[in-house]
Each structure stands twice: as structure tokens, then as C-alpha cells.
Amino acid sequence: MSRGEATALYLARARTLSSYRLHPDDGALSPLAELVMPNVVQSAWAHPRLPVLYVSCGEPPPGSSVGDWVCAVALDPETGVRGLLGDPVRIAGRALDLTTDPAGGHLLLAHTRPASISVRRLGPDGTIGEVVEQQTDPGLGVFPHQVRVTSDGRRCLCVCRGLASPHPWRASRDPQTEPGSLHVIDLDDGRLGAATTLTLGDGRHFGPRNLDTDATGTTYYLGLETQNEVVVLSTAAGGRPEPVPRQRLSTLARPDAEIHQGLGPVLMNPAGTVLYVANRAYQPRPDADRVLPVDAENTVVVYAVGPRDRLLTEVQRLDSGGVCPRSLSLDLDGRTLVVANSETYRVGDVTAAEVAMNLATFRVRDDGRLEPLARHPVGDGSGAPISWAGLAATS
């Protein structure tokens, strides 16, 4: 079986990494194997050529005596996971996100405290190797939340969210306590070089969480978590973002509502023609524990990308199928979307039925619009929330 013909869905809760077989015809999921990791799973990223998944594990500061780790997991088309590929590797601080370069020669990890990027070499079989010593400090902002490498392998993109207002009950209104920033850093054989930093205004109304790029890599789509907005940025020579956004849109249907909202993942389809964005609401009403306001928006918004100007036009807005859509993932041909709704809440009233954490599957139509397929409950809805989910090739 050639690589790409078999995929599996992976889901993390606390220290457990679970795998599922996705049935694209009806969106059903069949449980496969589980693997216990050395600490709480933070994020994961698949090798670009090999059936290997890299998993970062740790806890927020002050952490615990268990420590922070990165692991290589060998994937299997029959069982989902074969086991660890080599021993877990101890890292200096929790890595909230990680990625590889396009060639699969290096693994990059974004650490929250202190804010930094570390790089490790990868072996020909995908095993994690030694640290690449860095000569320069890119000077990252507060709370690195995502790290990516451009398709040409020449630049590293690091999204730093900053810190939100302690009372963000209306999107965009309250200034952040720490500013957000986007960093574009030269990358050469695993070594970080010169960096460009983008912050809109004073950064107090700029809380980026995730980004994705168009098919050419020349336009950045940046999701602002604390403002529930998406920003479209063009790039100049060398992949540096232009300082003035070409477009800045609220992703909410009711941006002035007195509801705690936060933007979630941003995901471009393989053709670079459709952008998917998730709105998340997971803070309870002040007067009722584990109850969300009825108008809270847990939605997926579908944007068409202009073929020439690369700007966004909303074409669909639909319920995510649960509460707090933490992850969006597409299968390799872009025909099935999986949403990980990570939390369990009641919506509207204490007497309402619980909306349990789940995996919701959607069929992707030719124009990128979504058609709901199925909802797969995760456990009994209690316990640790979903911390990460994604699809990966297993062969």
C-alpha cells in the first residue's frame, strides 16, 4: 500500500493517544489502538514522508516532576499505532506546538516559558536526533502558540498569542494584558536566522492563535483568538508579511454579544481555495456552572478564497456539532473534515441535556461547503477534555 492510501484519526486526552479508522462514505469512526504517553499530550505533527507522528507532552508551568517530552510514534495501517519509535526525548520546557520542515529533516518545537523555538535533527527513519545549536535569538513575543515552516523550507513562522484580558466578555473590546505578534524567521538547515516581527497597532487588540497559507505560500491567513477575527496578509520579497492587512473580518455572527468567545483553528484546504475557521465558546454563564449561554457560537465558518485577490468571502456558517471545536483536520484528498469538539457542557439551561465532547465528521462538497455526516462520542463525556486531534497517513 503506497503512502496516502491509508489514513487514521488520532485523538489525545490527558496522556492517552487514541486512534480511529475513518470511514469517509458515512463519516463513521472505528476505534483502533491506544498508546499512553509520558505526560499530558499538548500537540502532534505528522512526518511529511514517513508514517511517524511526533507528539509533544508536558504540563503548564510550574509543571511536575514528570517533565516535558517529545516522542516519535510509529503508525500502522491496521492498528493505528505500532508503538514508540525510540525512547521519549526530554525537552527544556513545555512545547505547545511542533512541526517539521518539508523535507522531514528537522523537528521544530515552540516552547511557552521561556518563549523559544528549539530544533532537533530527524533520522532517515524518522527517529528524533540531537539538538541543533542556535547562534541567534529570534526574540519571540509572549506565549508562542504555533510554529510552522513555509513550503520552500526557508522560513519559520511562529504565532505568539500574547495574554488575553482577564474579562474578555465581548470580542475585540478589552485590551490584552500582553500584546500578540507574528514572527517570520529565516531557516537554513535547522538554524534560525534573521527575524521579522509583525504586530498590529500596539498589539493589545491582536491575539493571533493559528495561521495557514494559500497554495502559493504568499498569503497568510491569521486567526486572532481573543478578537475572533481573521486577518489576510500579503507577503513581500523573502516571505515577509506586509504591515497593513489586506482584510480583517469578524468570524462571529454576533460580535457584540456579551459572551466569552475565542477563535480556534484556521485550516486551508489542499487546493488553497477554501479556508475553514472555528469559533469556540467554552466559558460558562456566571450564574450556572458548566452551562453556556444559548447564543454562544461553536461554529465552523467556510470562506471561499478569491482566485486572484486571495481575499475571503463567507459562503457557509454551521454548527460545529458540539462545544469548543479545538481541532479541524482534513483527510489527504480534502473530502472529509473532522472537528474535535473538546468539552462537555449544557447549553442554555441547567435542565438541558449535556452536549458531550465528540468527534464530528463532515463531507466536503466540490465547492468546499460542508455536509454533516456523524458525531462520534468520546468516552462518556466526562474526564479530561480533548487536547488535540488530527488525521495522518499510516503507510
Q: Residue 3 above 60 pLDDT?
A: no
For residue 307, whether the previous peptide bond is cis, meaning omega lies within 30 degrees of 0, is no
pLDDT, greater one: 191 or 64 = 191
Q: Taking Cα atoms as reference points, which of 229, 193, 192 lies closest to residue 208?
A: 229
Q: Which residues pair with 313 in a beta bridge?
A: 304
pLDDT tens profile 253-295: 999 888 889 999 999 999 999 999 999 998 876 777 889 989 9
Distance, CA of 63 to CA of 112 (rounded, Å): 12
Report residue 4's pLDDT band, with 50, 70 and 90 as the boundaries: very low
Percent of the chain with pLDDT over 70: 97
CA distances from 138 to 194, 221, 292 (A): 7, 22, 40
First-to-last alpha carbon distance for the chain, in angstroms, is 7
| For range 145-159, the mean pLDDT | 96
Q: Which residues pair with 70 in a beta bridge?
A: 56, 89
pLDDT of residue 5: 60
Q: Residue 349 above 70 pLDDT?
A: yes
> By the 8 A CB rule, do 234 and 216 touch?
no
pLDDT of residue 169: 65
pLDDT tens profile 174-203: 899 999 999 999 999 999 999 999 999 999
Q: Residue 301 above 70 pLDDT?
A: yes
Distance, CA of 11 to CA of 18 (rounded, Å): 5
Percent of the chain with pLDDT over 90: 85
DSSP characters over 121-176: EE-TTS-EEEE---S------SSEEEEEE-TTSSEEEEEE--B--S---STTTSPP
Q: Taking Cα atoms as reference points, which of 83, 104, 81, 108 lies closest to residue 96?
A: 108
Distance, CA of 301 to CA of 266 (rounded, Å): 10
Collapse the DSSP code of 321 into the 3-class scheme (helix H, G, I; strand E, B; otherwise coil) and give the result: coil
Q: Residue 216 above 90 pLDDT?
A: no
> By the 8 A CB rule, do 148 and 99 touch?
yes
Distance, CA of 122 to CA of 106 (rounded, Å): 5
CA distances from 199 to 160, 222, 227, 264 (A): 10, 12, 14, 20
HSE-CB of 8 using CA atoms within 13 angstroms: 27
Task: Indicate the pTM of the whole model.
Answer: 0.96
pLDDT of residue 2: 35
